[in-house]
Amino acid sequence: MAATRFLVVNGRPHAGDVPPVSTLLESLPGAYTTTRTHGNATILLFWERHLRRLSNSVRLLADHRPDLLGGPASTDHSSIRTLVGESLPKGLGLALAAMDEEITELAVTALVCSGGVSGSGALDLYLHIAFYVPPVFGAVGARLAIAGQGRDIAEAKYSQWARCVVSLRIGLLHGGLMDLGLDLFS
């Protein structure tokens, strides 16, 4: 079976098994953003906005909560753009080469951490790309509201908050929603 997920770390394709994006976010501290493609993977939706949000999240975490970024880091906006620029074409190339007729879109997540691979407070970029089959237009879907503790820095999107959401998710599923046939997180 062909790969369905791809990971590029600091511009280099990851050779081993690639975990689901939820596992990646749960295992590494850092700022992240997620988007998807449109038009048979020809357009990244709101990509410039996502890059600005990612850069802003890294800056906020570095200034106020470096522990949520993985440690102290330099936060030059252009360095994040460079890291993404080195990784995105490689990741998209791998994914597009492996796509078949049934897969029409891609989910793209960029996670920026401090010093994990490169060390010394430099930023590392993990670019995760997975196949995505959009729901049929007009199909009834679940509406979801998440309750619980908000992010410590509301304007920053970071991976530790994703771990908190998982514990909330487990509590909801064991609280009777499964008995009703509702799985709001699938």
Of 6 and 118, more confident: 6
Q: Taking the domains of the chain in order of start, what are their residue ranges? A: 5-132
Which residue type occupies 27? S
Q: Is the pLDDT of residue 171 over 70?
A: no
Q: Mean pLDDT in the chain?
A: 80
- pLDDT at residue 134, rounded to an integer: 81
With bands split at pLDDT 50, 70 and 90, how would you rate the model's confidence at 186? very low
With bands split at pLDDT 50, 70 and 90, how would you rate the model's confidence at 8? very high
With bands split at pLDDT 50, 70 and 90, how would you rate the model's confidence at 3? confident
Which residue type occupies 77? H
Contact predicate 113/72, CB 8 Å: no
What does residue 53 show for φ and ψ, rounded to 5 degrees?
-65, -40
| Closest to 62 (Cα-Cα) out of 46, 73, 78 | 73
Average pLDDT over residues 2-30: 92
- pLDDT at residue 122, rounded to an integer: 82
> pLDDT over 70 for what percent of the chain?
70
Count of Cβ atoms closer than 10 Å to residue 158 Cβ: 26
Q: Rounded distance, CA 20 to CA 129, Å?
A: 9
- pLDDT at residue 165, rounded to an integer: 59
| Residue pointed to by tokens 């295992």 | 27
Average pLDDT over residues 113-137: 81
* HSE-CB of 44 using CA atoms within 13 angstroms: 17
**CATH number of 5-132: 3.40.50.880, 1.20.1630.10, 3.30.470.10, 3.40.50.970?**
3.30.470.10
With bands split at pLDDT 50, 70 and 90, how would you rate the model's confidence at 95? very high
Average pLDDT over residues 138-143: 58
Determine the angle formed by the axes of helices 47-64 and 77-98, rounding to 10 degrees.
130
With bands split at pLDDT 50, 70 and 90, how would you rate the model's confidence at 173? very low
Q: What is residue 19's three-state secondary structure?
A: coil
Q: Rounded distance, CA 110 to CA 42, Å?
A: 18
- pLDDT at residue 118, rounded to an integer: 59
> Global pTM?
0.78
Contact predicate 54/97, CB 8 Å: no
Which residue type occupies 171? G
Q: Is the pLDDT of residue 111 over 60?
A: yes
